[in-house]
Amino acid sequence: MSAGAGSASDLPDADAHVFVADLEAPRFDDGDRHHLMQVLRLRPGQMVDAADGGGRIRRCRLGRHGDLEPCDPVVEVPTPEPALTVAVALTKGARPEVAVQKLTELGVDRIVPFVAARSVVRWEGERAVHHHRRLLRVAREAAMQSRRAHLPRVEEIGDFLTASSLPGAALCERGGRPPSLSDRAVLVGPEGGWAAAELAAGLPTVGLGPQVLRAETAAIAVATLLVGLRAGTVAPADDAGGGAATTGGARSIAPRGGGA
């Protein structure tokens, strides 16, 4: 398995990865035990990496009774720099969950779901609490699958003002310049695109290419570029003749959906 942002890339791959509350006495909950032993079918003696979600990870062995037996000291995994945020306007159906899952797998550090002026979906009250808890579970499961040592921060549902006030904020919008690491928080709009007032907020705009993508696809695309720029696997546009940090040039992808 390839090592990504926040993973213990200096260790050989374990057979599974879990998050625990205490690395001195690592224990997983019943849901994780069921997943490891019934779904992945791990057997006693196989190796499991236990992480605390804050960058500390410890190699363990699965014991005879389904417990975790530490066999290596705790390893500190450095926090990737700069920290990257993607803010995604709420969309219909399971698309917010897909976005959170893929952004977590890619290595985004902070995910901010928010309600834009043209958002059709509006989570409020208990519904917002329920969906936020669901997104936290999705992020945790995706971080386990992608072997991350650092859990991403998934913020509570916010609004455009909150998202646009993030340090390094930029709008994903047609006609924008290629993304760069100065864009530490990229906002992706809803199916209907940005309202005039949002475009007039004074934020820089970044683009991805000539196609029109769904909101979750635009979020995944910009996250891929930003994480790649941070890791050095994608060259900045200026270093690549204006093209490598985009998908085929400096024209951008409009972050609006292609239909419900």
Give me the domains of the chain, ranges plus CATH numbers: 16-76 (2.40.240.20), 85-240 (3.40.1280.10)
pLDDT at 159: 95
Q: Which helix (H) or strand (E) holds 229?
A: helix 215-231
- Residue 133 backbone dihedrals phi, psi, to 5 degrees: -60, -40
**106-113 average pLDDT score:** 98
3-state secondary structure of 135: helix
87 Cβ contact partners less than 8 Å away, ≥ 6 residues apart: 111, 112, 113, 114, 158, 163, 166, 169, 185, 186, 187, 188
Per residue in 29-43, pLDDT tens?
767 766 676 677 778
pLDDT at 11: 57
Per residue in 207-228, pLDDT tens?
988 888 899 999 999 999 999 9
Which has more pLDDT, 97 or 6?
97
Task: Tell me the residue type at 10.
Answer: D
Per residue in 133-158, pLDDT tens?
999 999 999 999 999 999 999 999 99
Six-digit token string for 188: 């992706």
Rounded distance, CA 85 to CA 183, Å? 9
Q: Is a pLDDT exceeding 60 seen at residue 248?
A: no
Contact (Cβ atoms closer than 8 angstroms) between residue 106 and residue 145: no
DSSP letters, 27-46, are ---HHHHHIIIIIS---TT-
pLDDT at 37: 66
Contact (Cβ atoms closer than 8 angstroms) between residue 142 and residue 6: no
**69-86 average pLDDT score:** 95
Rounded distance, CA 240 to CA 38, Å? 48
Weakest-pLDDT range from 57-71, 84-98, 101-115, 176-190 = 57-71
3-state secondary structure of 164: helix
Per residue in 176-185, pLDDT tens?
999 999 999 9
pLDDT at 233: 94
* Residue 54 CA: distances (Å) to CA of 3, 58, 108, 230: 17, 12, 14, 19
- How many other CB atoms are there within 10 angstroms of residue 1's CB atom? 10
201 Cβ contact partners less than 8 Å away, ≥ 6 residues apart: 160, 164, 171
Which has more pLDDT, 161 or 16?
161
Which has more pLDDT, 159 or 30?
159
